[in-house]
């Protein structure tokens, strides 16, 4: 479940153009703000800081933006 949430967190951030607060990420994933911060810490430890953080919230580092999913026709 943790790996799935980390993947969904990354996909969610990739779909956002602006900074996103932990509260909004948590609401999207159905988890607490504390778990959001824990997942972000784990992702950054595993990938070398792919998620930026500031007082504005969180954002993917620009060089690491995930490709958008293609719509199936």
pLDDT digits (tens, 9 = 90+) for 5-47: 999 999 999 999 899 999 999 999 999 999 999 999 999 998 8
**CA distance between the termini of the chain:** 30
**pTM of the full structure:** 0.78
From CA 43, how far away is CA 41, in angstroms rounded? 6
Confidence of residue 54 (pLDDT cuts 50, 70, 90): very high
Q: Which pLDDT belongs to residue 48?
A: 79
Confidence of residue 49 (pLDDT cuts 50, 70, 90): confident
From CA 48, how far away is CA 50, in angstroms rounded? 6
- Pair of tokens at residue 9: 């967190």
Query: Does the domain spanning 2-62 belong to CATH 1.10.10.10?
Result: yes
């Amino acid at each position: 479940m943790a790996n799935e949430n980390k993947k969904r967190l990354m996909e969610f951030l990739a779909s956002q153009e602006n900074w996103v607060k932990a509260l909004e990420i948590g609401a999207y994933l159905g988890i607490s703000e504390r778990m959001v911060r824990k997942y972000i810490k784990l992702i950054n430890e595993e990938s070398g800081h792919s998620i930026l953080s500031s007082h504005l919230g969180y954002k993917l580092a620009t060089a690491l933006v995930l490709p958008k999913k293609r719509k199936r026709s």
